[in-house]
Structure 1
Amino acid sequence: MVMLKPFKAIRPSKELVHKVAALPYDVMNSDEAREMVKGNRYSFLHVDKAEVDLDKNINIYDKKVYEKAKENLYNMIEEGTLQKDNKAMIFVYRLIMNGRSQTGIVGVTSIDDYMNNIIKKHEYTREEKEIDRINHVDICSANTGPIFLTYRDNEKINSIIENCTKENPLYNFTAKDGVQHIVWSIEDENIVDKICTIFKEISNLYIADGHHRTASAVKVGLKRRDENPNYTGEEEFNYFLSVIFPKSALSIMDYNRVVKDTNGLSEKELLKMISKKFKVEVYTRDKTYKPTEKNIFGMYLKGKWYKLTAKPGSFNEDLVEGLDVSILQNTLLTPILNIQDPRTDDRIEFVGGIRGLQELEKKAGNEGVAFSMYPTTIDELMDISDADKVMPPKSTWFEPKLRSGLFIHEI
C-alpha cells in the first residue's frame, strides 16, 4: 500500500518559471553550474548548487554553501519569485522530448514506505553524497529536488491523468535543451482523494533516479522525529517530494563507459585477451557502433570501432550478473583493464547516452578505450528491486531530466 499525499507547494510565478527551472544538481559540476547561472539570477541552481554565489575555491560541502542555499531560497520567496500555495494539491507533470512525452503525478511520499521497502531501491548510496543532501535538506528545511519514482501501470490513474490534462495548464514552457515542460494543478479535493486512494491499491513504487536524495530526505525525517518525540506522523518531515511515472512512460538510455588507458596492454594484446570471452569484429559499416540488443557491446580503440558479442557461457545469467553492465565489468573491465571498483576508480568515466558516441571517441582519445552499451530496461530495474538486489553503479540513464525548482516541499 503506497502512501501518497497532496502538499502545499512552494513554486515559481508563471512569469518566471522558465528562468527558475533548472537541471538537477548532480548532472553538472560547479564550474558548469557557474556558467549556467550567468545572466540569470532566478535560476534554481542558486539554491541547489549555492556555491555558484561564493568564492570559487570554497569546498562545496562547506556549511556556508548550505547556509547560502537557505538564504537564496527564502530570498526568492520574499521577493515573489517563488510563491507558497495556501492549499495542499497534487500536480500532473508532463515532459516532452523529441516528440515523446511522459506524464506523472507530483505529490509527497512516505519515509516509512521507504524504510518498509514499499518504495524499492536498486542502487547503493555513497555516504559523502548522502551527507551533502542531508545538510542541504536539513538547513533549507525543504526538499528542493524531486525523487523520480515509477510504478507498474494502473489504468485508473492513467484515466484521471488523461482527464486532468484536458484542462488549461499551470505552466507550459520549453527549456533551452528543447524539452517541453507542462504542469497542471489538481485542486479538487475529491479527485485528490481518489488519486491517493488508488495509490493505496498499488503494491510498490520504485526509485528510478534519486537514491541519494531519497536516503537523505528519510534521514532528515528521522532526525526531526528524534527532535520532536511527540510527532504524530502527519508532519511534513515524514514525507518527501516525488514525481511518479507509470513504467510504460519511461525511457532508459545507454550509460556508456570510458577507461583512460589500456592497463599497459598494446592494441594487439588487448584484442587477444578480449577475444577469449567475446567475438570481436571490426565495425566498418558506420562511423560509430551502438548496440541494438543485449549481450553486445561497442568498443572504440585507437580510432576504430569494434562490435563485441559476449560468448555463450562466458557470463553468469543471474538476475544481476546477467545485466550487460555486469557482463562488461566482470569479463572485461575488472580482469583485463583492472577496474576493480567502478564506484571509486578514477580511471573510469561514465557517459550518459544523451551525449552521443562521438563524446566517447573524444574522451577515449588515442590512449584510452570506450564502450557503448545496450540500455538496461525498466523491467530489469523492477525485477532486481523486487528481489532486493542492487545493480552495478551507473546502470541507468533516464531522459528527459526532471527540472528542479518547479515544486519545493517545505518540511
Structure 2
Amino acid sequence: MAIVKPFKAVRPSRDKAALVSSKSYEAYTPAELGAKLNFNPFSFLHILNPDYKYHQEVSSEQRFQLVHKKYSEFKSNAYFTKDDKPAFYIYQNNTPTKSYCGIISATAAEDYHNNVIKKHEDTLQKREVLFEKYLKKTGFNAEPVLLTYPDNDVIENIIKKHQLERPEYEFATTDKNTHFLWVINHEEEINLISEAFKNVATLYIADGHHRTTSSCLLAKKLAAENKNHTGNEAYNYFMSYLLPESQVDIYEFNRFIRDLNGLTSTQFLEELGKVFQIKKKHQEIFKPSEKNEFSMYLDGEFYALSLKDSIYKITDELSKLDAQILFTTVLKPILGINDIRNDSKIVYSQNKSGSLELKTKVDTGEFKVSFGMLPATIDELKNIVDADLLMPPKTTFIEPKLRSALTIYEL
C-alpha cells in the first residue's frame, strides 16, 4: 500500500513559470549556464548558483546557506508563493515525439524504509550525505523523484478530466518541449487519488535514487531530534512525480573501453569467441535487434556478438540482463574491469541518438573498443527489483527528465 499525499507547493507565479523553471543543473553546459544566469534574473538557477557572480570558491556549508538566502529572496519578491490548500499537481511534458503526464505528490519516507518504494540501482554514500546536508540547510527540494506505477484507470480518468481544463501553467522551452501544470485541490478528487494509490503494492524509483535516499535519511534524523515527532511533519515525505509504467522510456548506455587489458585484437577476438558467435559487419553500423546480442566496434570495424546459450548459464533475474551478461562474460574476465562504477578504463554514454557514437569515439583514439546493446525493459527492471537485486551502474537512461522549481516541497 503506497502512501501518497497532497501538499502545499511553493510555485512560481503564472506569468513567470517559464522563466523560473529550469532543467536539472547538470543538464547545462558551462556556456548555457552562464547565459541563463547573465540574462534571466528569474531563473531558479540563481538559487542554485548564488555565488556565481563572486567568482570565488566557497565551502558546501556556505553555499547551502547562500542557496537558502537566495530562495528566501525569491519568495520575498513574490516570484514564488505557497499554495493555501494541499494539492496534487498534474504535470504534462510534450516533447516533439511523445507526451508524458503524471502526478506530483508527497510520498512517504516510511514506504522507502518498508520497501514499498523500491530502488533498482545502488547509491554512493558520499552523494547521499552531501544531499542530505543540502536539504537540511536549504529546507526545500525543487526537483521531484521519478516514480513509476502500474497504469490505473481511476487516476487516468481524473487526469484526463483536468486536461480538458485550462492549465495553471502552459509554456514552451527552447528544447521544443511544451509544459503544462494543473492543480487538483478538490477534496473528493484528492481522496480518490490517495485511495487509488493505497491499492498499489509497489512504487519503483525510475530516476532520483540519491534524492530519495537522502530525503529518507534526513527524515530519520529529524524524527530522532524532534521530541514531539508525530509522523505528520513535512520531513516525513519527499516530492515525487508519479508516472504510469506505459509512459516511462528506457534507453541504454554504450560502454567505451580504453584498452584490451594487454591483449592484441586477435587474442581479444579469440577470447570473445569462447562465449559469443561473432560476425564481422565491416563498416555497416550494427545495432542489436534482440536480447543477448551486442554490437562491438574494434579497429575500424563493427561486429555482431550473439551469446552462446550453451556456454552462459542463467541463474537469476539479474543474470538475464544484457548489461550484466556483458560484465560477467567480457568486462570482468577478459578486460579486467572489476569495479564498473569507478574503474577509469570504462566510460559510459547514453544512446538516445543512435549507434554511430560507438564508432566516432573509438576512432578518435581515446578508446580501443566499444559495446552497445538493447535497452532494458520496465519488466526487467521490476523483476530484478522484486527479486531484491540491483542493476549494474549505467544500465538505464530514463525519460522523462523533469524540470526544477515548477513545484517546490518545503521540509
Alignment TM class, shorter chain as reference:
over 0.9
Q: How does 1:7-18 map to 2 (within 5 A)?
A: 7-18=7-18
The one-letter code sitting in structure 2 at the alignment partner of 1:277 is: V
1:289/1:372 contact within 8 Å kept: no
In the TM superposition, residue 289 of structure 1 has moved relative to its aligned partner by 2.4
Answer yes or no: is the 8 Å Cα contact 2:248–2:400 preserved in 1.
Answer: no
The CA deviation at 1:357 is: 3.2
Quick one: which amino acid aligns to residue 363 of structure 1? K
Contact 1:103 1:245 in 2 (8 A): yes
- Structure 2: runs of 5 or more not aligned: none
Structure 1 pair 404/359, CA: closer, same or farther in 2 (3 Å)? Answer: farther
Shift of 1:292: 2.3
| 1:297 partner letter | F
Computed over aligned residues only, the root mean square deviation of the Cα atoms, in angstroms, reads 2.2
Alignment partner of 1:134: what SS?
Answer: helix
Aligned residues of 2:22 and 2:44 also touching (Cα < 8 A): yes
Q: CA deviation at 1:106?
A: 0.7
SS in 2 for 1:354: coil
Post-superposition shift, 1:72?
2.3
Q: TM-score w.r.t. structure 2 length?
A: 0.93
Give 2:122's aligned residue.
124
CA drift of 1:56 comes to: 6.1
Instruction: Evaluate the alpha carbon distance shift between residue 100 and residue 46 of structure 1 in structure 2; reply closer, same or farther with a 3 A threshold.
Output: same
320 and 31 in structure 1: CA distance in 2 versus 1, 3 angstrom threshold: farther
Correspondence list, 1:382-393, <5 A: 382-393=382-393
- Structure 2 residue 277 is matched with structure 1 residue 291: no
Structure 1 residues 208-287: aligned runs within 5 Å: 208-284=206-282, 286=284
Instruction: State the match for 2:310 in structure 1.
Output: 313
SS at the partner of 2:189? helix
> Mapping of 1:145-224 within 5 angstroms?
145-224=143-222
Q: Which amino acid is the alignment partner of residue 117 of structure 1? A: N
Q: Which residue of 2 aligns with 1:366?
A: 365
1:34-77 C-alpha deviation (Å, 9 max, x unpaired)? 56544333332333465655646556xx2222222222222222
Deviations 1:109-145 (A, max 9, x none): 0011111111111111101111121111111111222
CA distance in 2, matches of 1:342, 1:54: 38
Query: Cα deviation per residue 1:303-338 (whole Å; 9 max; x = unaligned)?
Result: 322221111133332200110000111111111221
Q: CA deviation at 1:375?
A: 0.4
- CA displacement, residues 217-269 of structure 1 (integer Å, 9 cap, x when unaligned): 01111121122121111111111000001101111111221122332333222
Identity of aligned residues (%): 37
Kindly indicate whether the alpha-carbon contact (under 8 Å) linking 1:302 and 1:367 is maintained by their aligned counterparts in 2. Answer: no
Name the counterpart of 1:3.
Answer: 3
1:402 aligned partner, one-letter code:
L
- Report the Cα distance in structure 1 between the residues aligned to 2:261 and 2:52, rounded to whole angstroms: 37
What is the distance in 1 between the residues matched to 2:138 and 2:7? 17
Aligned counterpart in structure 2 of residue 142 of structure 1, from 140, 149, 168: 140
Aligned length: 408
TM-score calculated relative to the size of structure 1: 0.93
Amino acid of the structure 2 residue aligned with 1:170: E
Residues 285 and 305 from structure 1, CA distance in 2 versus in 1: closer, same or farther, beyond 3 angstroms? closer
In 2, the alpha carbon distance for the partners of 1:52 and 1:386 equals 44
Q: Does structure 2 retain, via aligned residues, the 8 Å contact 1:303–1:366?
A: no
Q: How does 1:16-55 map to 2 (within 5 A)?
A: 16-27=16-27, 33-34=33-34, 37-48=37-48, 52=52, 55=55
Q: 1:54 to 1:256 in 2, by over 3 A?
A: farther
Aligned to 1:301: 298
* Alignment pair present for 1:341 and 2:339: yes
Structure 1 spans left out of the alignment, 5+ residues:
none
Q: Quote the offset at 1:7 in angstroms.
A: 0.6
Aligned-pair distance for 1:362? 3.7
Q: CA deviation at 1:285?
A: 7.2
Moved more, 264-273 or 137-146: 264-273
Partners of 1:92 and 1:101 in 2: how far apart?
A: 13
- Counterpart in the other structure of 2:376: 376
Q: Distance in 1 between matches of 2:31 and 2:260?
A: 29
